[in-house]
Amino acid sequence: MNPTGFRRAIVPVLLIVSFIPAAARAAEPLGIEITGERPVTPPAATPTAARGRDEILETPAPDTGAVLTTLPGVEAVRRGASGLDPVVRGLQGDRVNVLVDGTRLYGGCPSRMDPPTLYVSPWSLERIEVVKGPYSVTDGPGGLGGTVKLDTHTLAAGSLHELRGSASWDTARSGSRVEASAGGRGERLDVAATAGYQESDNYEAGDGTEVPAGFTALDGAVDLGLTTHLGRLDLSLASHLDRDVAYPALPMDAEEADSYRSALGLEREGVSERVAGYHGRVYLNTVDHTMNNEHKPNFSTMQAETDSEADTYGGRAQVDLKTAGGTLAVGGDGYRVARDATRDRTLTMMGMPRTAHDRLWPDTHITDVGLFAEWQRPLGARLTLRAGGRADRVTGRADATDAASALAGATVAEAYVAFYGPDAADTDRDEVNAGGNLRLAWQIDERWQAFVAAGSAVRTADASERYAAFAPAPGGYRIGNPTLDPERSWQLDAGVAGTAGPLTLSADGFVNRIDDFILVTVIEDRLRDFNDDGVNDVVKGYHNLDRAFLWGGEVAATWAVTDAWAVAGSLAYTEGENRDDDRALPEIAPLSGRLQLRYDDPDGHYWGAGGGRLVARQDRVDAAFGEDETPGFATCDVRGGRHFGERWQLTVVVENLFDRTYHEHLTREAYLPVGDLAAGDEVPEPGLGATLTLAARF
Ligand SMILES: [Cu+2]
């Protein structure tokens, strides 16, 4: 697809949408408002954080990963301005399960340009929920860090039709975004559809440094529901197409990152006296990805392009049974993810052009089939017990390990052996993994509740950890280790939430021990040149630590000063220790907090808020990973909204009010000189900028 053509087509659409009379919001616009997450919900005994559709749409964020970082305890690794990769309580990558409408989706890039969250635009979401920790046996295996559940938009129950849209303009990134959704319901059929387009350009940091941040994204989704005597049958189809996404922290940029999702589900509640409900789903999620170095400064001497794909298919079925005083959910699920990536390089440095092809993912397959059960029952009037368990059979295969690798004269399998010894010649892996949890919720009185939870989960090594073959990584290359054992977490959580007069408070704390923690670390430091650019490279590899330990928690509070004025704040902290080597775990965000003062016009016509984000210095770093200490910073923002009649709303968000120059600890450094950045420079966040959004609802 031609991005310039994209742009030409979209400008008139943007103008039209901007002038469509539209509807007022039913809910108050919350922006990145920090509220106690669970002030009135029944005791859940699970540390969670969530955002609803209105809040998601009002967060001026380039992608869903960025929306997630507004939740306490959730951060993101940034390799570029888009494609933020979620980190939950210090754990990232494959340790965070991302489920799109209950289905698994794996990115197509060996360098994680495209975490699954990239493929679901904020505008297509109904709700985001993050379960922090291993408390989600019914949602599949793994999830040591947590499970991010992305539920896409469907027509709200009880609503007969819907038509809404918005257009926004972001001055910091010269970005624009238009989105619309429509839906309708008949006697047996219901349909909901969303579509959106977004584009962004480079931005300037507070000190004027130009940072490459361009991208365009187009997506659409349709959800068709049919009510039958067996339950509601639903078919959902969606695609998300990204073009020309800049990644200053990687040796390439994404030319395309496309996903196509399809799922067929059936669900029914209230089946019989014994059966509370059942639900099942089958799905296929595919990703095609191409990246190259066309816009990097080394393109004149080496042209490199990687084509890759990740196809995930799977299904799940669950029955909720009524038992004496409680419920028992039993079911099974399974998925298979096939990932393959090949890099082609043409070197034009010395005389005759030379070409090389190497397999970054050597035709890998990871298959997991599991069974689960979760039981819930009250213990007396105030206590609720939940217990869950699951067991999985996992296989890992790589079918193209006899292909050439970047290690001179060696196949991929021989490269594994060169770095990890003779055991690495066997790339087949079979595991049986079991985990479970126990949670107890206590309704102390009408206003306060508390919980304690203990859980253990197992995660098998992913395709990159097990099979990557010289995939580009920060500062060098990565090679997977086929001998990796799965890692197991042991987590304890305790929390309290409630209200006292004008104060709403929630606080959660956790400790998490991980056995056989899969650590990425430097295994060869500039001894050889793997990409023929004349400079020796760093090679990173993976090994199991005996033990890692993480602890931390989140606190959120809101104080309703008057009916119109409120103060909200939150604080989150995680510390990670590599117990084998007695040093910090890499890539853990520092202590951070948010504070906001908000005014709501009692008549509901307008609202305004001002506040800031305070982030402490991070000096707990892992030098062997190659990360630096990061100074603390504070940023301020103001936001406000005004309703015009019943249908229109204008929202303005001004970020980085004092035009500060700062960078996040989890932002990877520039890989090559791009924009005003030199190789190895920290990549700063945008300077002062405003986002204007005009929204309408019929
Ligand atoms: Cu990529």
For the stretch 337-347, pLDDT in tens is: 999 999 998 88
Q: Output the pLDDT for position 349.
A: 66
CA distances from 120 to 145, 151, 360, 571 (A): 20, 10, 25, 28
Average pLDDT over residues 284-290: 98
Q: Residue type for 268, please? A: R
Q: How far is the CA of 386 from the centre of ligand 1 (A)?
A: 41
Q: Which residues contact 445 (CB under 8 A, 6 or more apart)?
A: none
Could you give the angle at the alpha carbon of 528 between the alpha carbons of 524 and 532, nearest 5°?
135
Q: How far is the CA of 472 from the centre of ligand 1 (A)?
A: 9
Instruction: State the Cα–Cα distance between residues 680 and 663, nearest whole angstrom.
Output: 13
pLDDT digit string (tens) for 570-604? 999 999 999 999 999 999 999 999 999 999 999 98
Instruction: State the Cα–Cα distance between residues 318 and 373, nearest whole angstrom.
Output: 9
Q: Output the pLDDT for position 14.
A: 30
pLDDT digit string (tens) for 202-259? 999 999 999 999 999 999 999 999 999 999 999 999 999 999 999 999 989 999 999 9
DSSP H or E stretch at residue 540: strand 537-544
3 pLDDT higher than 80: no
- For residue 475, name the pLDDT band (cuts at 50, 70, 90): low
Query: Lowest-confidence range among 12-16, 133-137, 314-318, 639-643?
Result: 12-16
For residues 146 and 350, the answer to whether their CB atoms sit within 8 Å is no
| 155 vs 99, higher pLDDT | 99
8 pLDDT higher than 60: no
Instruction: State the Cα–Cα distance between residues 537 and 556, nearest whole angstrom.
Output: 45
Greatest mean pLDDT among 522-526, 530-534, 599-603 lies in 599-603
Q: How far is the CA of 149 from the centre of ligand 1 (A)?
A: 24
Q: How far is the CA of 307 from the centre of ligand 1 (A)?
A: 8
- For residue 60, name the pLDDT band (cuts at 50, 70, 90): confident
Q: How far is the CA of 112 from the centre of ligand 1 (A)?
A: 6
Identify the three-state secondary structure at position 492: strand
DSSP H or E stretch at residue 507: strand 503-515
For residues 531 and 343, the answer to whether their CB atoms sit within 8 Å is no
Rg (CA), the chain: 25
Q: How far is the CA of 396 from the centre of ligand 1 (A)?
A: 22
Residues in the chain: 698
Find tokens 């933020």 and name the residue. 84
Instruction: State the Cα–Cα distance between residues 266 and 511, nearest whole angstrom.
Output: 38
Instruction: State the Cα–Cα distance between residues 331 and 316, nearest whole angstrom.
Output: 7
58 pLDDT higher than 80: no
pTM given for the model: 0.90
Q: How far is the CA of 253 from the centre of ligand 1 (A)?
A: 7
Longest dimension (CA), the chain: 82
Q: How far is the CA of 158 from the centre of ligand 1 (A)?
A: 42
39 pLDDT higher than 70: no
Q: Output the pLDDT for position 2.
A: 41
167 strand-pairing partners? 178, 694
Instruction: State the Cα–Cα distance between residues 455 and 412, nearest whole angstrom.
Output: 37
End-to-end CA distance of the chain: 33
Q: Output the pLDDT for position 348.
A: 80
Instruction: State the Cα–Cα distance between residues 660 and 630, nearest whole angstrom.
Output: 15
Q: Residue type for 141, please? A: P
Q: How far is the CA of 365 from the centre of ligand 1 (A)?
A: 19
Q: How far is the CA of 111 from the centre of ligand 1 (A)?
A: 5
20 pLDDT higher than 90: no
DSSP code for 618: B
Average pLDDT over residues 604-627: 92
Q: Residue type for 301, please? A: T
Q: What percentage of the chain reaches a pLDDT higher than 70?
A: 92
For residues 444 and 314, the answer to whether their CB atoms sit within 8 Å is no
Find tokens 């440095």 and name the residue. 349
- For residue 38, name the pLDDT band (cuts at 50, 70, 90): very low
DSSP string, 365-423: EEEEEEEEEEEEEEETTTEEEEEEEEEEEEEEEES-TTSB-SSTT-BHHHHHHHHH-GG
- For residue 474, name the pLDDT band (cuts at 50, 70, 90): low
pLDDT digit string (tens) for 401-429? 999 888 878 899 999 999 999 999 999 99
- For residue 44, name the pLDDT band (cuts at 50, 70, 90): low
Q: Output the pLDDT for position 410.
A: 87
Dihedral, CA of residue 618, residue 622, residue 628 and residue 631, to nearest 10: 10
Q: How far is the CA of 313 from the centre of ligand 1 (A)?
A: 21
Average pLDDT along the chain: 89
Q: How far is the CA of 473 from the centre of ligand 1 (A)?
A: 11
Domains of the chain: 20-697 (2.40.170.20)
Q: How far is the CA of 303 from the centre of ligand 1 (A)?
A: 15
Instruction: State the Cα–Cα distance between residues 62 and 83, nearest whole angstrom.
Output: 8
For residues 507 and 497, the answer to whether their CB atoms sit within 8 Å is yes
Q: CB neighbours (10 Å) of residue 271?
A: 16
